[in-house]
Structure 1
Amino acid sequence: MHRLQRMSSTATGLKTVDYEIFGIVQGVFFRKYTVDQAQKLGLVGWVKNTTEGTVTGQVQGSADKIDSMMDWLKSSGSPKCRIDQAHFSNVKNVSNLEFNDFTIRH
């Protein structure tokens, strides 16, 4: 069983995805909760507010953890947010991570 689990986790590889979240996502600690969630999952990347009132960013890490983060971004977010839409783009496999941690950009 342990060997099978190890094989499945290494088979997932590394992935990167860009995201933009629409709704009430500014002024509700969305970025802070995004950093916390990414760190819990062991992911790297960044998040920032846009001038259009959305939140955008990039997340990188193991494919299964990326899938969990994408689910969280489109359905959970921060307690006081309202997510209307989540757009994901530039989803691709990568051989190396470009970031060392997950940060808020300004």
Structure 2
Amino acid sequence: MFLPLLLFLLSVVMTQQTLTSVDFEVFGNVQGVCFRMYTEEEGRSLGLSGWVKNTRQGSVIGQVQGPADRVSEMKYWLEHVGSPSSRIDRAVFSNQKDISKLELHGFSTRY
């Protein structure tokens, strides 16, 4: 009697994905190598929202929001892949938190 109810509740929980937001900064040779453009493309292909921007110090900063599993994929991409001509020395992630709804819509480059 309780098994159908339990299965129903489990299916509801499984279909509701946890949304996550995380800030990032990527260091290395990441300016002048289309890093922002490729970051936008990767974020969009993963169905994420966010933004990316060059800093005066030569790094790239931004924020990514979306389903936790896809945000994890994007974090891996930012830390290990990047644009074809980039050289990533390190990526720092901060302010990671679960969110109840997306605060950003779409993926853009900020100037």
Give the TM-score taking structure 2 as reference length: 0.87
State how far apart, in whole Å, the 2-side matches of 1:5 and 1:28 are: 44
In the alignment, is residue 102 of structure 1 matched against residue 98 of structure 2? no
Q: Which runs of 5+ in 1 are unaligned?
A: none
In the alignment, is residue 77 of structure 1 matched against residue 79 of structure 2? no
Q: Which residue of 20, 45, 66 corresponds with 1:61? A: 66
State how far apart, in whole Å, the 1-side matches of 2:29 and 2:13 are: 40
Q: By how many angstroms is 1:103 displaced? A: 0.1
Larger radius of gyration: 2
Q: Which runs of 5+ in 2 are unaligned?
A: 1-7
Q: Which residue of 43, 47, 64 corresponds with 1:42? A: 47
Moved over 4 A (4+): 3-9
Q: Which residue of 27, 36, 43 corresponds with 1:22? A: 27
Q: Share of identical aligned residues, percent?
A: 50
| RMSD of aligned Cα (Å) | 1.8
Partner of 1:91: 96
Give the TM-score taking structure 1 as reference length: 0.91
Per-residue deviation, residues 54-92 of structure 1 (Å, max 9, x unmatched): 000000000000000000000000000000010000000
- The amino acid that maps onto 2:65 is Q
